[in-house]
Structure 1
Amino acid sequence: MANLQEAPSEVPAPSTQPSPANTPTQPPPKPPSPPLRILRVSQLDAELLDGELTGLLKEQFLKIFSFFRPTIKETYDPEITALLTYLISQVTLYASGASYGLELQNLRYRNERRHLGDRETASINAPLTRWQKIAHAVIHIGGRWGWLRLNRFATSHEWSEHPAVSSVSTVYFPQRDADPPKKHDMRYRIWKLLQKAETIFRSLSLLNFLVFLYNGKYRSVLDRILRMRLVYAKPEMSRQVSFDFMNRELVWTAFTEFLLFLMPLINLSQLKAAFNRMVRVQSNISLPEDICGICYGTENDGDAGGVVTPASTGGTVQMPYETSCGHVFCYYCLK
């Protein structure tokens, strides 16, 4: 009987690990937000519009001096350009963060330092700080004015034409070195530094433009240094492209070219004569058949001095005579 007794079955201990059905589901990771893309053509168009506006205002302003001190245009051109640029920027860019050209393209500047990482696509754009505006005015306006004025001064005083100056040892001891080293004048050195600085800046501008074409950020080197990025002022606004002005310009250009092609083929003298014949006022005066035209004219001109003529009879045809053209006159008037 002991051998027939079954061993008690072992009951498995309950597992402390939760089953897959009871495991709480974790939310999937949030995909990264797409990078902010701003149309490059809109940014470049805004720059062109601002440049054309400044040029238009400058042209109208310089007309004041067309008959009064016309040399002011050439003498103070950098100062006039800097003043107009500052006034336009003060009432637009430094006041609202967008110039007139940027507003037309639905763009404005923002402080990109506040939008690093995931905050790049934030709905609220951080405005420019005060030091960014001051630095932009000093470098963009003041720096350009200083550069133009310094280049003008160096060119007018011919800094690039100053000859090299021999060293002191060569002047007093010419026998020491047959080909001694020469030291250039300080003005020539400054001019060479200006040329190198301009070359470096142009190279950086070209490199920045290539990067701008790639990612659409920072239109200029100054914008990249100050972290001033152009974004949409109203992202929900759809971009509307109007070709009305372009179509009008194309029509007028084609019409002008057609007239320039047609004018040499037109005989103006014949055209003028034909036009005069068309607009000439024709006389509607007609006399009855029993009235002589010569007698009628003589009677209207005045009295014949007491002599009895057909004209004194009221212009009635006396002894009618028909001419080759078919008109009837007095025989006395014709003879």
Structure 2
Amino acid sequence: MDKNMQVPERLRKITLTISSLLFQFTIYAHDSTIGQQILNLKYSGSEGQSLWMSRRQKILYGLILIVCPWLRERAETLASFVGLSKYQAKIRKVLRWLDISLKLAAVWNFLVFLQRGVYQTITERLLGIQAMFPSRQGIRQVSFEYMTRELLWHGFSEFLFFTLPLVNFQRVKNFVRRHILNHHEDPALDGLRVMECAVCEDVPTNPQEIGCPHLFCYYCIQSNYKADPGFSCPRCRTSIPSVDSIRPYRTVIS
């Protein structure tokens, strides 16, 4: 056998084994899938006196769930094995029409399920089984206070998500720094150029000046001015008349 054919064959065997084990320890053992066990649901059958699935229904469910897809994947290989290679084109055509028919049946079943609320899948309808609670559900007193609170916070969060992008926080920050904090420069530094950025207070990267004795990083001054055209120097309150007032710092060599 070709090595390229061995890998898919091994994967099919592994998939078949895992599917069989899952079926054995879920539907066959407990009459419910893993998801139904979490929701405390079980399949009920209509055969005999038992409320839950009969052994016959479980075996048919396993054949439909596991064996049929496995045979569908190996149809051409099995046709070659039994000497029907010359009919492979017809077999593929029949399988294609079967797939289309099953999809149409699934759509029809879904529409009926939306109307009547029973038999969610074709398999459930064919076997006459449906998911239900093992014990009768008691009447619960439902309080809508929690729902009201959740709706209130949901509406408030939606309002914040809409309004926050519209707020220019850089302009608000500059306004607070300018009019509320009232930070004043030390008079002893008047006329002296401080060799640190007036915004980030670090050594300026690509130093810029705006006409006052202070330096700025290129990114600090440009970002602040673009976010707030009324931006002024945080230390001496020198304003920026226009973007042309921001220029690279040049040392004066005497």
**TM-score category of the 2 structures, normalised to the smaller one:** 0.3 to 0.5
TM-score by length of 1: 0.36
Bigger-Rg structure (1/2): 1
TM-score, normalising length: structure 2? 0.45
Greater relative contact order (Cα < 8 A, sep 6+): 1
